[in-house]
Amino acid sequence: MRLGFYSEMVRIRTYEEAIRRDYHADKTPAWDIGAGLIPGEMHLAAGQEPVAVGLCANLVQGDALTGPHRPHHLALAKGVDMKAMTAEIFGRTTGLGKGKGGHMHLFDPSQHFSCSGIIAEGYPVAVGQALAFRRRGTDNIAVAVAGEGAVNQGAFHEALNLASLWNLPVIFVIEDNDWAISVHRDSSTPVKDNAERAASYGIPSKRIEGNDVEAIYEASKQAVERARAGGGPSFLEVHTVRLWGHFEGDAQAYRGDELTEAESRDPIPLYATKLENAGILDEATAAAIKQTAVDEVEEAIAFAKASPEPAPSDAYLHVFA
Amino acid sequence: MTATETETRRITTAKAISEAIAQEMRANPDVFVMGEDVGTYGGIFGSTGGLYDEFGSERILDTPISETGFIGAGIGAAVEGLRPVVELMFVDFFGVCMDQIYNHMAKIHYESGGNVKVPMVLMMAVGGGYSDAAQHSQCLWATFAHMPGLKVVVPSNPYDAKGLMASAIQDDNPVLFMFHKGVMGLPWMAKNPRSIGDVPEERYTVPIGKANVAHEGSDVTVVSVSMSVQHCLDVAEALEGTTSVEVLDLRTIVPLDREAILKSVGKTGRLVIVDEDYKSFGLSGEVVATITDTDPRLLKAPVQRVAYPDVPVPYSRVLEYEALPTRDKIQKAIETVMKG
């Protein structure tokens, strides 16, 4: 299982590195956010892989996950098809949304995965998914993930209150990467631990300080088991790390020395060392894992690039069912 | 009760709406209701009367005052295949939950390239005329109609309300069902007798997107929706023998039945629009554009618009009725276009 965690984190990191490379590849000579094969904003999740991997390892087919504007790690860990997701990011007809959604609006109904570019607004949707699962009599659960910047939105509090009131099978996760774009959490949130806030709604809550995939797995395992058994919602806040900018092109001058400190907390080399020390991982295995990831990611990117662009007239389709 | 008595049964619009919901709930276990005071109270304006007694708290859910929370929950339930009927008590409260409505409910189907459906009804009370002032009296249907992805239903009478609610629940799209408090036939509010009418007991639908010629005529077309249709019919009947007025009840704004507008104006050559929503940038302008985009020569006279002036809804009865579309104003507008 630990090698599986490592492989999945490497897979996600390899994906984000490749998207980053191709995102910037053709924005020259003058950097233009709307230019290139991948246009628009791009929010990558390097550093946050342990949250997605530790959490999703506890989910089963039929469970729902809704993510925020920074969704790739969650989508991949949830089992969203990498090719269809990449094609969507490249705006192609073979994409998850046929090129209509883009990287902040990924919908894969087969995996019950969705995300939204509006901070905290996925939380109430997860409450409704949990309501549907209970009404249908399944033991599936819904998970909502957002960044720590979401905890001061009304939607966050309304969703927690409703889920607790109705004792719904939903897990609320906050990825605390310290930064809401350029505003540090100390400048936005007067409590150090958002589990305190969730607890005030009667929800079992926990903050995990280390960006440790195993700790995240164990904590979410308890939460998932509670939800499946009819024990209602749980809340987890994970102190993770945003290794790159809020969006690609973010110079991050506001981070100063903190950025160097953050880079020292890169979870993948730290976990590799841990596994090497435990005798689970060696250099050759690590290289093979990386190569497998590279092959899969490059195949997905090649698929996306080879896929057709939408016909202009497709803009008028799908407003209504 | 004989079949004949059943057919001629007269009920309020509120009763017609709750009956439609009950029938759809009996037919489909995926249908459920959520909102503030929809349970034992039966909806502040009666839209869910009697449902709690029949279906209980598992399917008729009273919510906290958390419009973002429960409208978002409706969306989540809908994308997982249920058919929620969610009530926003007054349209005026959209300000606290608009993100869920226009960024999520309206857009998910499009963003997903048609892969995710949101079969959900969001019903809400609209309209004024009873001194509830600026934050509880607006219509605002054009605000929602302006944004792609939402069907907008605005019934004027009990028969249409029941059939349109059934259609809305069966529709695979998000539908805003906007009922005017004045058409509900509430025992505690002055009402037009047209708010109580013949409604079949059996299940039936009225198609979304089809206007209705509520009163046939040949001299002038009066296009309207919701409560104002009742005023237009009063005026049309009063003018019988003098002016032949055709009243076109749009019934839904999205989709807009442009063909029906063109057909009627093509016949009469004269157009009055009566709209309780704000005048500028709204429904009345859209109806005019429907004509002018096609053939301005259809019009024999300049158009008259009886719409809500661009002011917030005032409290004082004198002030509010200065702003509201009234029978006098409608009649005057008809006389003006007939002279043109």
3-state secondary structure labels for all residues of chain A:
CHHHHHHHHHHHHHHHHHHHHHHHHCCCCCCCCCCCCCCCCCCCCCCCHHHHHHHHCCCCCCCEEEECCCCHHHHHHHCCCHHHHHHHHCCCCCCCCCCCCCCCCCCEHHHCEEECCCCCCHHHHHHHHHHHHHHHCCCCCEEEEEEHHHHHCHHHHHHHHHHHHCCCCEEEEEEECCEECCEEHHHCCCCCCHHHHHHCCCCCEEEECCCCHHHHHHHHHHHHHHHHCCCCCEEEEEECCCCCCCCCCCCCHHHCCHHHHHHCCCHHHHHHHHHHHCCCCCHHHHHHHHHHHHHHHHHHHHHHHHCCCCCHHHHHCCCCC
Cα–Cα nearest to A102, from B148, B111, B116, B102: B111
State residue B83's pLDDT score.
98
The Cα of A308 is separated from the nearest Cα of chain B by a number of Å equal to: 15
Query: Is-contact A5 A57, C-beta < 8 A?
Result: yes
DSSP B189: S
Whether B2 shows a pLDDT value over 90: the answer reads: no
Share of chain B above pLDDT 90, in %: 97
Does residue A79 sit at the B interface (CB-CB below 8 Å)? no
Q: Do A97 and B117 touch (CB under 8 A)?
A: no
Confidence of residue B1 (pLDDT cuts 50, 70, 90): very low
Mutate to test the interface with A, among B33, B66, B83, B122 (most CBs of A within 10 A): B66
Give the class (CATH, top level) of B212-339. alpha beta
State residue A270's pLDDT score.
98
Mean pLDDT across chain B: 97
| Chain B residue closest in CA terms to A168 | B73
Confidence of residue B63 (pLDDT cuts 50, 70, 90): very high
E strand or H helix at B197: strand B196-198
Q: Do B99 and A159 touch (CB under 8 A)?
A: no
Q: How far is CA B256 from CA A74, B232, B338, in A?
A: 41, 19, 26
E strand or H helix at B246: strand B245-249
Q: Counting beta carbons within 10 angstroms of the beta carbon of residue B202, is it exposed (0 to 12), middle (13 to 18) or buried (19 or more)?
A: exposed
Instruction: For residues B177 and B169, give the distance between their C-alpha atoms in angstroms, rounded to a whole number.
Output: 10
Confidence of residue B340 (pLDDT cuts 50, 70, 90): confident
Does residue B28 sit at the A interface (CB-CB below 8 Å)? no
B250 is written with which tokens?
A: 């749009």
Q: Which chain A residues contact residue B107 at CB under 8 A?
A: 105
Burial of A252-275, coded b for 16+ CB within 10 Å and e otherwise, reads beebeeeeeebeeebbbebbbebb
Q: Do B149 and A158 touch (CB under 8 A)?
A: no
Our answer to whether residue B180 is catalytic in this structure is no
Instruction: For residues B111 and A81, give the distance between their C-alpha atoms in angstroms, rounded to a whole number.
Output: 17
Query: Is-contact A147 A113, C-beta < 8 A?
Result: no
DSSP B104: I
| Chain A residue closest in CA terms to B86 | A128
Query: Is-contact A191 A197, C-beta < 8 A?
Result: yes
For chain A, domains (ranges, CATH) are 2-308 (3.40.50.970)
Whether B4 shows a pLDDT value over 60: the answer reads: no
CB atoms within 10 A of CB B32: 24
Which residues are CB-neighbours of B1 under 8 A, at least 6 positions away? none
CA B273 from chain centre, in angstroms, equals 16
Domains B3-198 and B212-339 in one fold: yes
Query: Which residue among B72, B115, B148 sits closest to A121, beta carbon to beta carbon?
Result: B72
Beta pairing class for B196-198 and B10-12: antiparallel
The Cα of A45 is separated from the nearest Cα of chain B by a number of Å equal to: 22
Instruction: For residues A143 and A238, give the distance between their C-alpha atoms in angstroms, rounded to a whole number.
Output: 14
B204 is written with which tokens?
A: 């039936």
| Chain A residue closest in CA terms to B73 | A128
The CATH number, out of the four listed (3.40.50.1980, 3.90.1150.10, 3.40.50.970, 3.40.190.80), of the domain defined by the range B3-198:
3.40.50.970
pLDDT digits (tens, 9 = 90+) for B5-61: 556 699 999 999 999 999 999 999 999 999 999 999 999 999 999 999 999 999 999
Note down pLDDT in tens along chain A; length 321 residues: 999 999 999 999 999 999 999 999 999 889 999 999 999 999 999 999 999 999 999 999 999 999 999 999 999 999 999 999 999 999 999 999 999 999 999 999 999 999 999 999 999 999 999 999 999 999 999 999 999 999 999 999 999 999 999 999 999 999 999 999 999 999 999 999 999 999 999 999 999 999 999 999 999 999 999 999 999 999 999 999 999 999 999 999 999 999 999 999 999 999 999 999 999 999 999 999 999 999 999 999 999 999 999 999 999 999 999
Question: Could you tell me the residue ranges of all domains in chain B?
Answer: 3-198, 212-339
ipTM of the complex: 0.96
Q: Do A154 and B96 touch (CB under 8 A)?
A: yes
Angle at B189 between CA B17 and CA B37, to 5 degrees: 50
Cα–Cα nearest to A242, from A173, A149, A155: A149
pLDDT digits (tens, 9 = 90+) for A12-51: 999 999 999 999 999 988 999 999 999 999 999 999 999 9
Does residue B39 sit at the A interface (CB-CB below 8 Å)? no
CB atoms within 10 A of CB A75: 29
The Cβ-side half-sphere exposure at B73, using a 13 Å CA radius, reads 37
E strand or H helix at B273: strand B271-278
The Cα of B150 is separated from the nearest Cα of chain A by a number of Å equal to: 8
- Angle between helix axes A82-89 and A283-306 (nearest 10 degrees) is 50
Instruction: For residues A249 and B68, give the distance between their C-alpha atoms in angstroms, rounded to a whole number.
Output: 33
Instruction: For residues B285 and B273, give the distance between their C-alpha atoms in angstroms, rounded to a whole number.
Output: 9
Instruction: For residues A17 and A9, give the distance between their C-alpha atoms in angstroms, rounded to a whole number.
Output: 12
State residue B6's pLDDT score.
52
Does residue A103 sit at the B interface (CB-CB below 8 Å)? no
Q: B residues 92-151 near A, CB within 8 Å?
A: 96, 99-100, 103-104, 107-117, 119, 148-149, 151
Residue B120, SS3 per DSSP: coil
A156 is written with which tokens?
A: 């966050």
State residue A29's pLDDT score.
84
Q: Do A100 and B70 touch (CB under 8 A)?
A: no
